[in-house]
Amino acid sequence: MWEVVRSLLRPASGDVGGLVEAAPAARLREVFRRFWPDARPFWRWLWLSLALIIVTPAVDAAAILLFRALVDDVLTPRNFAAFPPVVAAFVGITVLVGMLGFIGQYLGAWIGENFLHRMRTRVFAHLHTLSVSFFDRRRLGDTLSRLTGDVGAIETVVLSGVIGVFANLLKIMVFAGVLFYLDWRLALASLIAVPMFWAAARVFARRIKVASRDVRQRAGSITVVAEESLGNTTLIQAYGREQAEVDRFAAQSLGSVHAELAATRLGAMFSPLVDLLQVIGVLTILGLGIWELTAGHITLGGLLAFLVFLSQLYSPVQGLGQLSTSLFGAAAAAERIIELLDQRPTVTAPPHPTPLDRVRGCLRLERVSFAYPDTTTEVLNQISFTAEPGQTTAIVGASGAGKTTLLKLLLRFYDPTAGHINLDRIDLRDLDPEALRANIAIVLQETLLLDGTIAENILAGRPEASEDQLIAAAVAADAHDFISALPDGYDTRVGQRGRLLSGGQRQRIAIARAMIRNAPILLLDEPTTGLDAEASQRILTPLRRLITGRTTIVISHNLLTVTDADQIIYLGNGRITDTGTHAQLLASNNQYAHLYHLHHSPTLAGTATSVRNGVLT
């Protein structure tokens, strides 16, 4: 028998496959202490709603006492004359209860929703302060489910929870007071049953907390799998991975079912137990009440009113029990928010950043080494070079050599583990990252477009730019013609991640964005990869315009874009293995020459030459 009960109470087994980060266990009190100050703007309204809560049980008590008057003054003496005032009082009280109920409910929802809105926005804003490294490490779906789901838990702990506990305690006090007023012996006997609820509640609360935490984590892993899977439908369908993905999703979904069932089992076992205690309690009191009635210590109306009060008393006690269950559940969810809020950006502005306006754009790397956080392999090793203002530095090297990583350091998404990066002789660490990035424009291989209009996407480079500047940038980026041909022109929506545009069109919008930013430093990461020969050739002209006059660091496999760079740096395995101009490297570096001839095989040679003659030189 015990075995069965124990197995019923066991939380769901199996792990969540490391899909979601476990959050450290936080105490309910800590959750409260941490977020209570955030409710400050609502304290005033909270007091008002507490005041309403004080009135409500008093009115309830009056209604029940009226019931005693009905029995003792109207029904027992069969006195109709006393009926109308009782009716009037009943109607009055009902209307009052209704009004108070409306105000209380609406006020509660108003406070709760507004608090939720602030918290949600705060967590979201916090996420944007975090360094890129955070998002490299985390599953997006897990973070999203915390933002949309778990934030509500804080509201439960800080507001609804507080109001609920207060309201229930108050009801217990008022009703218990009236019980003693009606018959203190009976009252004493009935209140002995109350502590039993507490004992039962405490035993279960712990297990329920564990189960609820599991439920939240499971919900997170479902979102994670769905997000990854639905975000990659092209890949999945092309490779026929649908069934595998469905299985993966089903496994997480089933995990959620088990966790949910485990939590429900615990919850469901709890309430019948409480019910049983309640029935036993009421029957005992009824027996004692009959004895008191025959002894003449209480009237019939008094006894009936007593029983009504008693049933009213058990409901707030039970309410407290349920509240503690939901509060522990909420604490588990709040832990996941706390874990997010406790994340600190790895890259921060110094307390007194060196002021920076428009820079000249002299970038100097001195013996820069770098390993990603929590890894030991050095992705970059003792890199030193200088990019003079207005010059173009090309970085080439095999896949995985560390080229993109170098750009991330220049954008200060990470700090070097050793060495320095200076901009106009100032260490990047002495600058406010925002001020640094204001001087940089980027065009990446995977074009980053936001789900908005074309105009919005270009203006992201410089929101205050005028319409003329917008069009000038688009013209320079060779994008104006295709944009004008679209039905809505600049107001055409690009779809999520720019799906509604072709790769080359996306890239030209990215160039227009970099163009309008007009920053002294330009970082290009494989701007032509992913495009076919014709499309890449097409964006070379606008790229060329963009590069002119800026300190440019360009990464490219496609050596077309780099042949006329002022210096070319060959990265091999995180080290600089060679530096020079195109002609120098072609003569001295076998790997470079190999890479060059790879892209300039006879079939491509024609294109390459014409481009070099027509555009690049």
Binding site for Mg ion (CB under 5 A): 404
Q: CB-wise, 404 or 469, nearer to ligand ATP?
A: 404
The least CB distance from residue 400 to ligand ATP, in Å, is 4
Whole-number minimum distance, CB 237 to ligand ATP, in Å?
25
| CA–CA gap between residue 151 and residue 226 (Å, rounded) | 20
Nearer to Mg ion, 404 or 577 (CB): 404
Per-residue tokens: 562: 């780099």
Residue nearest to Mg ion (CB): 404
Give me 573's structure tokens.
Answer: 């395995």
542 binds, among ligand ATP, Mg ion, none (CB under 5 to 8 A by kind): none
Report how far residue 161's alpha carbon sits from residue 605's, in angstroms, rounded to the nearest whole number.
Answer: 73
Residue 385 binding partner per list Mg ion, ligand ATP, none, with a CB distance cut-off of 5 to 8 Å that depends on partner kind: none
- With beta carbons less than 8 A apart as the criterion, state whether 337 and 308 touch: no
Buried/exposed code over 19-50 (b: 16+ C-beta within 10 A; e: otherwise): bbbebeebebeebbebbeeebeebeebbeebe
Rounded to a whole number of angstroms, the minimum distance from the CB of residue 526 to ligand ATP is 7
Nearer to ligand ATP, 389 or 530 (CB): 530
326 vs 405, beta carbon nearer ligand ATP: 405
Q: Which does 275 bind (CB under 5 to 8 A by kind): Mg ion, ligand ATP, none?
A: none
Report, in Å, the least distance between residue 417 CB and Mg ion.
Answer: 19
Q: Which does 405 bind (CB under 5 to 8 A by kind): Mg ion, ligand ATP, none?
A: ligand ATP
CA dist., res. 325 & res. 355, Å (int): 53
C-beta of 375 vs 601, nearer to Mg ion: 375
Q: How far is the CB of 557 from Mg ion (least distance, A)?
A: 9
Shortest CA distance to 507 belongs to which of 581, 570, 558, 566? 558
- Binding stretches for ligand ATP (CB under 6 A): 136, 372, 375, 379, 399-405
Interaction partner, residue 537 (Mg ion, ligand ATP, none; CB < 5-8 Å by kind): none
Give the nearer residue to ligand ATP in terms of CB position, either 156 or 536: 536
Distance between CA atoms of residues 146 and 123, nearest Å? 9
Closest residue by Cα to residue 224 from 16, 25, 23, 373: 16
Which residue, 325 or 393, has its beta carbon nearer to Mg ion?
Answer: 393
299 binds, among Mg ion, ligand ATP, none (CB under 5 to 8 A by kind): none
Min dist. Cβ of residue 239 to Mg ion (A): 23
- For the record, the structure tokens of 315 come out as 């409901």
Q: Check: CB of residue 163 under 8 Å from CB of residue 50.
A: yes
Please, what is the minimum distance in Å from the beta carbon of residue 417 to ligand ATP? 13
Residue 402 partner contact from ligand ATP, Mg ion, none using kind-dependent CB cut-offs of 5 to 8 Å: ligand ATP
Residue 412 parent element (H or E):
none
> How many whole angstroms separate alpha carbon 445 and alpha carbon 504?
11
Bridge partners, 427 (sequence order)? 422
Give the residue with the Cβ less far from ligand ATP, 294 or 399: 399
User: Smallest distance from the beta carbon of 19 to ligand ATP, in angstroms?
Assistant: 18
Contact 357, 386 (CB under 8 A): no
Alpha helices in 156-193 (DSSP H): 161-182, 184-191
Comparing CB distances to Mg ion, the nearer of 67 and 372 is 372
Q: Which does residue 158 bind out of ligand ATP, Mg ion, none, counting CB within 5 to 8 angstroms by kind?
A: none
- Given ligand ATP, Mg ion, none, residue 16, with its beta carbon under 5 to 8 Å by kind, binds none
Query: What are the CA-CA distances from residue 161 to residues 156, 165, 271 (Å)?
Result: 5, 6, 19
From the CB of 363, what's the least distance to ligand ATP, in Å?
A: 17
Which tokens go with 613? Answer: 């003659």
What is the token pair recorded at 106?
């609406």
